[in-house]
Amino acid sequence: MAAGKPPIFPKVRIIDGAKDFDISPAQTYICGSAAPDATYENSDQSFTQDISPGVTFVAPDVTHIDTDGTPIPTPANNVFVCTPGVIPLGIYYFRPPIKSQNISYALHDDAWQVQNGIRNYLGPTNPVQFALLDHNATHPFTTLLNNNTFGNLFRFTGSTGGYQDINKDYFDKDGVATTEALAFPDDYVVDNYTGLGWTRFSQGNDSWNNHLVNADGLILAGFDDWFMPDYETIFSISNHDLTELSGVSSVFGYSPFNQVGSGIMSSTTAGDSTTTMMRTAAYDVGKISKAGNNPAFFYRNHFN
């Protein structure tokens, strides 16, 4: 090497897809998730090496050439660690919109749930898919466009993916005939469109305040975070497909809820009276006294 001339160590160039990265020896190369194949090259030698996410790639020793032609070995074993980029994960569910109610009239009612974060849902930042209903299906309200997390297209399933079809027959997640208890353990329902969990049956007739208290104290399917739904949330499972309802005069009279009665309560206070609340009934909506005895379904956040 010529006296007084410092050795030249050209930067190593990693070419990953459409991007070039110049790095010095012993630095870390972070591989892009979309193009894990990388080309390692320098002044006198190049080759291509697949660098998979989470794998450490140790480059072989290569030789640089000084300005006077003298071979200069690079520092041995340059190490490149390819770390995963953004990896698709999870399903994005469509929660019902919140109402504009901002005054709470009782613990755990509509406004209380919003103010205390119960209605918060951000969803995965990079979802594998979005939960969508199949608008071209015979029964689009209860049919998904893409498989749910259990591998079938049913919107409403049990906690293990079982379901009840329009003929009221029970099946496991793979479509094999089974029993009611196995299809819906603990009478718990997963809504694979909104990501909410539901009590399969209404919780009897009671007053508005008592339903709020009873939901808070309920332990079902091992869960203790139950609430009486606000109006938009209960309305999200009301069905107007007459062929699915099979003549039952209730918008909840379809599989797997099979509710016969009407007048389902919500936790939303009616806008013009603090003594009334919003409810869904046979085939209409309206308000009813909070003091009356009416049924209610309870819900929780199943997929957060």
Tell me the HSE value of 235 on the side-chain side, using a 13 A CA sphere: 16
pLDDT band with cut points at 50, 70 and 90 for residue 128? confident
| pLDDT-above-90 percentage for the chain | 61
What local confidence, expressed as pLDDT, does residue 232 receive? 96
Q: Decide: 254 and 245 in contact? Cβ < 8 Å.
A: yes
Write the pLDDT tens digit of every residue in 113-125.
999 999 999 999 8
Taking each continuous run of H as one helix and of E as one strand, the counts in the chain are 5, 19
pLDDT of residue 86: 56
Quick one: pLDDT at residue 282?
A: 72
> For residues 200 and 100, which has the higher predicted lDDT (pLDDT)?
200
Residue 66 has pLDDT above 90, yes or no: no
Report the pLDDT averaged over residues 25-29: 54
C-alpha–C-alpha distance, residues 295 and 66, integer Å: 86
* Residue 137 predicted with pLDDT over 70: yes
For residue 261, is pLDDT > 50?
yes
What pLDDT score was predicted for residue 30? 57
31 pLDDT higher than 80: no
- How wide is the angle at C-alpha 203 spanned by C-alphas 200 and 206, nearest 5°? 160
Mean pLDDT estimate for the chain: 83
Higher-confidence residue of 19 and 238: namely 238
Q: Measuring CA to CA, which residue among 246, 239, 243, 244 is closest to residue 282?
A: 239
- The reported pLDDT for the residue numbered 73 is 56
Residues 142, 156 contacting (CB under 8 angstroms) = yes
Question: What pTM was estimated for this model as a whole?
Answer: 0.74
Q: Which residue has the tokens 């909104």?
A: 194
* Position 13 pLDDT exceeds 70: no
Can you tell me the mean pLDDT for 19-48? 52
Smallest CA-to-CA distance from 55 within 83, 16, 33 is with 83
Higher pLDDT residue, 163 or 260? 163
**Is the model more confident about 21 or about 96?**
96
- Distance in angstroms (rounded) separating the CA atoms of residues 278 and 271: 9
Specify the pLDDT at position 80.
Answer: 59
Q: Can you give the pLDDT at residue 52?
A: 61
Classified as helix, coil or strand, 158 is coil
Q: Which of 39-48, 93-102, 187-196 has the highest mean pLDDT?
A: 187-196
pLDDT above 70 (res 17): no
For 132, other C-beta atoms within 10 Å of its C-beta total 12
CA 39 – CA 54 distance, rounded (Å): 17
Average pLDDT for residues 192-198, to the nearest whole number? 98
pLDDT at 7 over 80: no
Identify the pLDDT of residue 8.
42
pLDDT at site 78: 57
Asked whether residue 54 carries a pLDDT value surpassing 70, the answer given is no
Residue 283: band (very low, low, confident or very high) from pLDDT cuts 50, 70, 90: confident
pLDDT higher at 293 or 10:
293
